[in-house]
Structures are given as structure tokens and as C-alpha cells.
Structure 1
């Protein structure tokens, strides 16, 4: 169960690093297995290179937990440069996406990952391949990539059904899936999550993961209630066009553990803070197992 840093933004879209440090300190004590930065929830595509480096330096200096750094960027060239700089901090792994303006052929995807692995200098790679990626990597291609690029150790994706997992497991990679599906996907072959449930409640997500291992039936009931909460308070925001970063920040505001706010960077829209209170009431009712004393 891995948790991400969320950008606390002031009204002018600048990052409040004091609040970011407080968030990092909370996550370090929450019991999660590791921390990561610069995924979708971290709004990586909006960062200047100076902001990118400052967040990386903060993470590396202030946590003893395993940590991963996302080097993702729509540009292959800028992404390669981020990989080099991230590798110098010796993270547990570096997360990358396939360049995202045009779809890549299988050969182009392999050429990209091969050069990224060289730039990473021995730091392992995790391929982030969400449903909205221009280039979708299917299980058979994933196996080919894993064999050709030994540095590739994991996949961060939406997962799939039993057949998808059976084929994806042949790659030998660790398969990480969305947090709110972790209980149902673990028996299929999921290894863990870079978790949106941790955005709602870092310590609660850890307790839920422990429940998945100890009492799967009970854990599935928690997942059912997470889905009920999402249907009532997250799906309407999705239907209005809010992005995944906006949804994750809304979850953190509902959880009350982080002072990250609901604002995401221009031009993306964000949730009205007035919606946090009603959602918190529902979370208190449906998900008492996830409360870490902030609701």
C-alpha cells in the first residue's frame, strides 16, 4: 500500500512547501509501505523542472520509507532528463509513462524503455499505463518488454479481469492496481496499489490492506462500501468533468488528514470545498474502519 504526495496550492497556483512537508511527515508515520511522487495525483505535467527537483529533494531527505519518483512527462526528451536527475537520489524505483502526444508502436515503446533504463543507471523502473494513456500496453506486449528490459519490475495500471491477470502475470512484473479495487483484484493476482484509498485515509488504507490478508470476506465488504461512497460523492464529480487529481485532493479533504485543499492547477477545475462536509458525513457512516481520527 503506497501513498502519494498531493500538491498544496495557494490561490496563485504556487506550491506551499510548508504544508507539503507537514503532509510528508504525516504519511511517513501512517504505516504505508512506501511513498511516491509525480503520478497523476501529483499533477506531474504541471511542474516546472525546479519544482520537480525541489519535491524530489524533500522526499529523499525527509523519509526513511521506500520511495519512488515519477519521471513522467509527455515529452520523451524531458522525461529522459527527469529520469537522470531522479536516479541520482537512488529511489526504490522510477515511474515512467510512454510518451503521450502520439501513440507508439511496439518497437518505439521498447526503444523508449531501453534508453530510459540506461539513463536510470540501475534504478528499477515501473511503467505507469493508465486507461487514458495514448499507448495501451497489453499483457503479451508487457511480457516482451519485461524480457527485453530487465530493469522493468512493475506495472501501474487499472488491472482487469481474471484472464487479464493470468496473461499479465506471465511478465513476472509486480502488478499494482487502483486502491478501491484492491480487495477484489488481490485474489486475481494484484500485488498492491498506489492507492487512492490512501488519499482518503493513509492509516485506514493500511488497516484495510491488513484485513485483505486476514479476512478477505470482510475486506470485500469494505470495498463494497467504498464503492457506495464513491458512487454518491466521487462519480458525480467525475460526471461534471473533474480530473483524477481533483478527485484525489477531494478525497484527502474528506479524510481531513492533510491540508492540501481541493485546488488543482490551472486550467483544471476543482471540487467546491462546500462538498467536503456532506461527503465526510457519508464516509463516517459507511467507512468507520478507515477513520484515523480526523473525521
Structure 2
């Protein structure tokens, strides 16, 4: 392990997505094949157990088995130890650290909001538990405890990075004072890099792993990704599909691995018809992403 730092945490990273059987069990054969495919790409690294990885649905045995697949892929890797329970999350951090990942991603406990003192106490204790493995804080828009720039600066000594939706220039001007590496959604990386973002845990990598890194800073490609999202992702989002369902939809449109669109109960999955309608549009709008999608 060569632990990442705030200065070295950069680039485009892709998540493992859970291939599910009809009974919602994980198909680990397909997961291993997916990881092997991603290992051959130009991506800076892989991670597991973000929102798209359906981390909140996993048993502890499943969590550990996915980590074994991730650690064995041969790419730099980060483990998401997130869980709504602080106690479960702390145990996950301890087990994740034993695998010597490049970093561990965590969330603030997510049933009740925390005050600033509680947030600081949580992050410090998790950092102590992780030992030499650095931490990245995941603070999405739906988090119960939003972390603004001032709190971020207080948390910064225990972290190397922040996974966030980002913001405008004023937001980045304040957030970058923390000294942390700031990671934003893949479909905004080109424009937000101009504001101060350092990389992405990328939803675009679900569509095209190599395309996501080769065109990460291309503003015209970003504009056309936005056009595709407007036509085929936003309507699914408005219909109530979750982020895991949307990322699996993108992977099915990209057709670079046998992930499938099924998400775990009770979440709703995208349909085959929706994928087939979107696939030719993606290739017409974004041909360069599919020249060598893996």
C-alpha cells in the first residue's frame, strides 16, 4: 500500500456495480469479471461501496467478499466503509484497513444529523481506527449532515479528500481553503476542474470507463454528456429511479460488462426498453466515448 495524500489523490476512479441474480443475491462471478475488465482500463483506480454500489443493502459478509474482489483486481483501490450506523461503519473501517487500500471513504452517520462537535468526534475516531490508511469524506446532497466549507476546514486534519456534488466558484474558493482533494461527479468534472476540482468518482465511467478518463477535461464532451443525460437520465430520475439504478442503466447503455440493470429491493430498476432506446443516442452524441470503452 502507498497511502494517498491530499496532493496525490487525483484523476478518474470507477466504482464496482453489483451484478444481481433474480433473488437479489450478488453474482460474484460476474462481479469478478467486471473487476477484471476495469483493471485493464486507463482509470486511475477503482472503489466500492458508494451510493452506486448499494452499500446500505449489504450484509457484512457481502461487504467483505466485495472487498476481496476489489483488492484482487490489481488496480489502486479505495474501500467505502460507509453505513448509516456509526458503530457498523467503525467496524467496517477496521476490516477495510486490514486490506491496505489506498484510502477509505466514509460518510457522517446518517439517521440523525450531527452537530459540528459530533462530526469532528466521529471523523477523528474513524481516522484513529483507520490507522495509516487515509480517509475521504463522502458528503452528497442528500446527506443528513451537510458539510459546508467552514466545517470542512475543521475536519480537514483527519481527511485527505471530499467526495461532493461541488458548487459554484464561491463554493470552490472556500472549500479549497481546506487543502483537501475535491472530487465531483464525472459529468461535471471538465467545468468544475476549472473551479478547483481535482478528480471524480465518476458516473461517466459507468457509461465508458476509458472514455471517462480520456475526455475528462473536454468541455464539448461534457456538454454532449449533458444533452444525453437530459434526454435519457433526467426523465428516469424524475420518475423516481435511484442513483444506483441510474448508474446501472449507464453501464447497460455502455455495454462494457455484464452488470445488468437490477437494483436491490425495494428500489426500482431501469428496463431493457429504456436501455435500448438510449444506446443509439449515446453513440450518436458521444462517439468518441465508445471507440474503446474498456
Using the size of structure 1 for normalisation, the TM-score is: 0.94
List runs of 5+ in structure 2 lacking aligned partners.
1-11
Match of 1:48 among 59, 68, 71: 59
Given that 1:246 and 1:264 are in contact with CA atoms closer than 8 Å, whether structure 2 keeps it comes out as yes
1:235 maps onto 2:242 in alignment: no
Residue by residue over 1:271-295, the C-alpha shift from the partner in whole angstroms, topping out at 9 and shown as x without a partner, is: 1111111101100110011104579
Aligned to 1:244: 243
Given that 1:165 and 1:189 are in contact with CA atoms closer than 8 Å, whether structure 2 keeps it comes out as yes
Aligned to 1:261: 260
Aligned to 2:185: 178
Partner Cα distance (1:30, 1:273) in 2: 26
Q: Deviation of residue 8 (structure 1)?
A: 0.2
Match of 2:207 among 182, 188, 200: 200
Using the size of structure 2 for normalisation, the TM-score is: 0.95
Aligned length: 283
Aligned to 1:23: 34
Match of 1:84 among 76, 90, 94: 94
Aligned to 2:117: 107
Given that 1:201 and 1:292 are in contact with CA atoms closer than 8 Å, whether structure 2 keeps it comes out as no
Provide the aligned C-alpha RMSD in A. 1.1
Partner Cα distance (1:292, 1:264) in 2: 28
Match of 1:155 among 162, 165, 173: 162
Aligned to 1:167: 174
Structure 1 runs, 4 residues or longer, greater than 2 Å off: 292-295
Aligned to 2:5: none
3-state secondary structure, aligned to 1:264: coil
Given that 1:101 and 1:134 are in contact with CA atoms closer than 8 Å, whether structure 2 keeps it comes out as yes
1:288 maps onto 2:274 in alignment: no
Normalized per residue, the structure richer in helix is: 1
List runs of 5+ in structure 1 lacking aligned partners.
213-218
Match of 2:127 among 108, 117, 123: 117
Aligned to 1:215: none
